[in-house]
Amino acid sequence: MLCVFLPALNFRGNHSPHLWWFYKFVSAFGRDAWYVCGDEYFADPALHLAHGRHEATSTSAQRLEYDVPGLQLLSQLPRHDVPPGVWRSIEDRFRSNPLRAYQYYCLEPDEQLACALSASLDHMQSRTGPPEAVITCVNCATLSAVCKQRGLPLIHMELGPLRPPNFLPTVYFDFSGVNGQTEAQARFEAAEVSTQERDWHCADALRSLFTTLREPPDNEDPDTDLGIALQIEDDSNIVCYSNGFSSAALINQALITAANKEAEPPVLVRTHPGSLFRLRDLVPSVAVDSSRSAIDFILRCRRIHTINSSVAVEAMLLGREVAVFGDSPFGFCIDADTFRPKQAEFAFLLLNYLVPWDIAFSAEYVRWRIAAPPETSIREIHLEHFMQLKIKELETRLREVEAQTTYLKAQVELLSSSLSWRLARAVRSFYTAVATRHARPK
């Protein structure tokens, strides 16, 4: 059986910080997996809803394609929790600094947590045999060490950088880490030569496959030279893998860039929709972006600077220059001199490293990847499913166009057959005759 591990560390005001992931994994694996989480994950979803947790809403469930589990299913799931005292010990170690506790959890081994994880895995093995793999959604140095010691595959999954409604949905799937400390570059460098064929080393081909924009993007005439894409402050991207950069550092560098006239003003700064803060009192040469969407923001800028936001991947796909300052799975794709994507690397990221949403959460796919198939096979499977997703999206758009065309034809027929239209026929004929006569050259 597979084993799902999610931390019950309180760094966001609750002990179920990855609740939607729990619901997603339960929807995918149900009773066929073990769950090492914490009591709060198994609480009645109605209680979560009453406390304002969006994960328990039908809106989130529909968007992320999971079912909010009922109490009966939750009570039947195989589980073995890490004792609450282990999490309290980490929280108390960094009292009044929950993000430091989160950073410690991600980056540093903890002896108590290691013992608790080993006990959970031993319990699972005594009941159903050795786990096939452990799945999680955030890096944990302790978990990595325990799995390595036991020879267990450890799979990190996270929302991919390309997401609906503007792109095909993708998932990060990594045996080394997520956000930081990933295997993306190492996999590319070790890939078979046949995965680096030039068929997909074309920006237009990749853009055509992955974008689902209703109108072709206007890439020709950006409004400004530089855009800054900020991120959520308590995400592991910033807490653990920013390489010392921060939102304030990017903004201050934008101020310096504007003052030195190294970019035509204004420098646009876009905050993340989930940010806890709003910008104000910037100098006239640095403006807060007010675009309706991240796509509109990207198209306004010639170059995008970010720590490690997924906006960088969207920007590369849309033909913009990009600079990434933090650790990220896609940094190796960017040419340090031109700020443009290196085509072989970028194609590998999109077609091999990222996983199509529709297969990433299936037990069959997980087990297939545990068996370490060659990169050529991974690309073939991914490309097939990306193509199917693209065809499905185009068929949906075609039905929408056909429905709109049918509606417009019905409106024309209705107007053409109306009594007022028929009665006015003589007037229209007279007007046409007069207009034709006056239009003749004298």
Looking at the predicted structure, is the pLDDT value of residue 412 above 60?
A: yes
Per-residue confidence (pLDDT) for residue 221, from 0 to 100: 83
What pLDDT is attached to residue 322? 97
Which among 102, 134, 152 is the end of a domain?
152
**What pLDDT is stored for residue 58 in this prediction?**
97
Residue 250's pLDDT is 94
Q: What is the pLDDT of residue 131?
A: 96
Same-domain check for residues 327 and 374? yes
Task: Please tell me the total count of domains within the chain.
Answer: 3
Examine the pLDDT at 423 and tell me if it is beyond 90: no
Domain annotation covers residue 269 = yes
Output the average pLDDT for the chain.
92
**Structure confidence by residue, pLDDT tens digits, 184-210:** 999 999 997 656 666 788 888 999 999
Q: Tell which of 152, 167, 194 closes a domain.
A: 152
pLDDT classification of 419: cutoffs 50, 70, 90: low
Residue 349 and residue 399 in one domain: no
Burial (CB count within 10 angstroms: exposed 0-12, middle 13-18, buried 19+), residue 9: buried
Residue 441 covered by a domain: no
- Report the pLDDT value the prediction gives residue 431, as an integer from 0 to 100: 67
- Res 195: pLDDT: 63
pTM for the full model?
0.91
pLDDT at 83 over 60: yes
The answer to whether residue 442 scores a pLDDT higher than 60 is no
Residue 353 has pLDDT above 60, yes or no: yes
Q: Are residues 318 and 197 in the same domain?
A: yes
Q: Which of 39-48, 127-136, 200-209, 350-359 has the lowest mean pLDDT?
A: 200-209
What is the domain extent for residue 400? 391-435
**CATH code (residue 206):** 3.40.50
320: in domain: yes
Residues 58 and 98 placed together within one structural domain of the fold: yes
| pLDDT band of 421, cuts 50, 70, 90 | low
Distances (CA, A) of 296 to 165, 231, 289, 318: 13, 17, 10, 11
Last residue of a domain, one of 133, 152, 171: 152
Confidence of residue 330 (pLDDT cuts 50, 70, 90): very high
Q: Is the pLDDT of residue 103 over 60?
A: yes
For 373-411, how does the pLDDT look when each residue is reduced to its tens digit (9 = 90+)?
999 999 999 999 999 999 999 999 899 999 999 999 988
241 and 383 assigned to the same domain: yes
pLDDT over threshold 90, residue 216: no
Indicate if 317 and 398 belong to the same structural domain: no
Residue 161 lies in a domain: no
Identity of residue 289: D
